[in-house]
Chain A
């Protein structure tokens, strides 16, 4: 096993900093061989707010992953999320410059560049420009225009961008643990989709929702291409915070109650049912009723899903999701959330598992690992093998490389 075959992805989440080590086989398949995890501190709503503390967690997470996989980690791919992430669809049109009207690499590139040129505010940098499809002289649905003849090339592109400084903070946090280097940055939601969706499901159309501690990231695939993506900076922490305020109990207790007793499927049997934490005796006014806990949770969870629904409706692709909804992130564990989501979206819902990779099966089924596993898969796609690249990979690589090189300059 040569070292160059190792791919590492890291998600600096709000709840946990997770490092996933993958091993890429010759045929391109990726196997997960180790995971390191550290409860996140200094991170709020998926953004680093206390660098020093977060750096310690990064260090611990990487050390744990090294132990677990038996490798030394020098560089990695990093996931980014937060309220600063934005996206839009745009079309870039260029006259074909290639010899004899034959579309060249640079024609494709300038069409894509053209598409993402506008709309990005100066404080943001493009993370991904993902080609949806091309048009050659108005001919629809061209998947690969290279070598085709035409006068005019158009590219429909989904652009995901995020705050420069904020993304840089993330990179800085990781680079503060020598010898770590960040190869590229990937949007967490996109990464989660890379982990859980098969090619077929992307073709059929799917919505992937990663509901973590501080954010809910989503991407919409239709006809094999990303059509919409975004972040709502609300997550499981909000559920716990609501519980804490609603039941007037400390945050830590609210968090435990949520996990031990919470459900978002309300029913009459829970009415007036007193609950307590294991190893805790409740006395007098200290009594917590299950219906109160669950009502608070249900309201927040439903609202959050409704907000994603609203985003979906805005995109206009809600009717085209043949494969349904895939829930990942720690909040996919919330009891009853699958049915709640099915109600909200009126679509089949499943808890996503990382079916696109192999390896540690226990980890693949856990929805909270979808994003870091997806980040690793993203890295694997970027690294090759060259003969079998994902269609979008090329463009992604360049777009992100641009960002990183800009950031490295600081």
Chain B
């Protein structure tokens, strides 16, 4: 069997500026350079669509398929940061959206929450995808603290709505990415990290569904693992090489900030573990990798697991872990931390922090080193530890960006900031709007 699950139709939708950038990222890198050959063979190659109300932004998208949303509502000018306009734009194109999602099995929706289009249109599109019978997964970012109260409130409202209408929502606060990207990071670096993250997630799942497997994990497993997981879904990817690549991959995945050294796994009700190794992958290794994850679980979760073979992974092992908590777990907060890209997972020393110590900024990620080396700093998932109080959360976000604003305010550094409705206007407009220059 060369390509499994031939009939699984996957749709990856980027909605709004940020979403389109993320999907562009996938279009640009391919699902992985080596996958290109297979891409041509048809099968479950995801279909990428860039959806935006902003025709100018859309015209620069690299996606093969572009979907101009709500031309009558926005005249191609974007939603101007107003989610009600984004929603109206989506409603205007209800029929075309229905046509697009018809007959698909799995729909990924990527969006940056906080603006007009992504925030307003994504829930509507997710709902239509769901109605069409697709397993619907949303990958979204939450705005930076400095983007202001208005954007944050809009994003929160959009997130709530998305959670109601899609199967699972993976949610990444941008401030978090910023901290992860290191001291010298610019906002664009953080956006890139978000784009990478979304791309990694899509790739990981795509690989799981399409590669020939030692142990098959099919679409129905994925569906069972994720369906109706409105509340909190996180995922992490780790890679290991060398003799003990199973342990290294598991260690890296578990210590990814998203999985919080296993803390989330402990509370998870469903865990999906998907391994991709080379033809040299043995069952013993698979077992070791999975039991490393299983050991962290305390809620007797339902574990789905699979192992696929890909020649490009000879001598390596990549592990994707998706953990979900059901609706009962925590009702009001699906904010999860992001996970680093595979490259970042590879390296840097362990820094132990006490659980309550706020994270200000992390050291810049060290260059990747060989397998088996200690994982990157263990980040504490503070929301979890410190409780869900909104104030605590905001404070934390502020602290995280503190050290970094210095680099992005140029000549207004150290001056009293110009704040308008919670938004720091000294930061370049293009950064706050998430528009890439050059």
Contacts and interface: CB of A to CB of B under 8 A. Distances in A.
Interface in A211-265: 232-234, 237-238, 241-242, 244-247, 251
B420 A296 contact: no
Interface in B382-428: 408-412, 415-416, 418, 420, 425-426, 428
A44 B435 CA distance: 27
A21 B409 CA distance: 38
A245 B410 contact: yes
A335 interface: no
Interface of A: 44-45, 49, 83, 232-234, 237-238, 241-242, 244-247, 251, 289, 292, 295-296, 299-300, 303, 307
B418 A45 contact: yes
B428 A246 contact: yes
Contact of A244 (B410, B418, B429): B410
Given A234-B425, A299-B433, A245 B408 contact: yes
B57 to A, nearest CB: 11
B429 A299 contact: yes
B438 interface: yes
Given A238-B425, A296-B428, A307 B410 contact: no
Contacts of B409: 241
Interface of A is mostly: helix
B431 interface: yes
Contacts of B416: 45, 83
B437 A247 contact: yes
Contacts, number: 64
Interface of chain B, main secondary structure? loop
B437 A251 contact: no
A241 B429 contact: no
Nearest to A288: B438
Contact of A295 (B408, B411, B425, B435): B435
Nearest to B410: A241
B438 A242 contact: no
Given A289-B438, A295-B437, A296-B429, 20 more contacts: A45-B415, A45-B418, A233-B418, A234-B418, A234-B425, A237-B411, A237-B412, A241-B409, A241-B410, A241-B428, A242-B428, A245-B408, A245-B410, A246-B430, A292-B437, A292-B438, A299-B429, A299-B430, A300-B429, A307-B420
B189 to A, nearest CB: 13
B128 to A, nearest CB: 32
A251 B430 contact: no
Contacts of A292: 437-438
Given A83-B418, A246-B437, A251-B411, A233 B425 contact: yes
B173 to A, nearest CB: 23
A234 B427 CA distance: 11
A299 B433 CA distance: 9
A296 B428 CA distance: 8
